[in-house]
């Protein structure tokens, strides 16, 4: 199955063609495991003292940035597009 996501300009693009070089904080979605998006471009829906919540642009899941809960919503990517090890 091919996953797709929407770019800033509304165009659909596929993961292999995602250009992360323009992204401030490229991350890979751990909900659908295929979406890649810029963490600085997400639309934050709620801000709390210890976390923010947003909808993933790839699979429309409501996620937060509480990475220590063991259900991290994303993993950071390095400049080669590979998962960064924490
Ligand atoms: Zn996703």
Q: Is the pLDDT of residue 5 over 80?
A: no
1 pLDDT band (50/70/90 cuts)?
very low
pLDDT in tens, 17-69: 578 888 999 999 999 988 999 999 999 999 999 889 999 999 999 999 886 66
Q: What's the CA-to-centroid distance between 28 and ligand 1, angstroms?
A: 8
Q: What's the CA-to-centroid distance between 64 and ligand 1, angstroms?
A: 13
> Can you read off the two tokens belonging to residue 43?
């639309």
Q: What's the CA-to-centroid distance between 43 and ligand 1, angstroms?
A: 14
Position 9 scores a pLDDT of: 54
> Can you read off the two tokens belonging to residue 39?
């963490």
How far is 60 from 67, CA to CA, in rounded Å? 19
Position 17 scores a pLDDT of: 55
Strands (E) in the chain, as ranges, are: 4-6, 12-14, 26-29, 36-38, 44-47, 52-55, 62-64, 74-76
Kindly write down the DSSP assignment for every residue of 59-73, as one continuous string: T--EEE--GGGS--S
Q: What's the CA-to-centroid distance between 48 and ligand 1, angstroms?
A: 22
């Amino acid at each position: 199955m091919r996953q797709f996501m929407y770019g800033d300009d509304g165009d659909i693009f596929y993961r292999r063609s995602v250009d992360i070089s323009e992204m401030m904080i490229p991350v890979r979605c751990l909900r659908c495991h295929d979406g890649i998006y810029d963490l600085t471009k997400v639309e934050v829906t709620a801000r709390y003292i210890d976390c923010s919540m947003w909808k993933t642009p790839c699979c429309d899941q409501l996620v937060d940035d509480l990475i220590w809960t063991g259900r991290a919503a994303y993993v950071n990517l390095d400049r080669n597009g590979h998962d960064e090890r924490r």
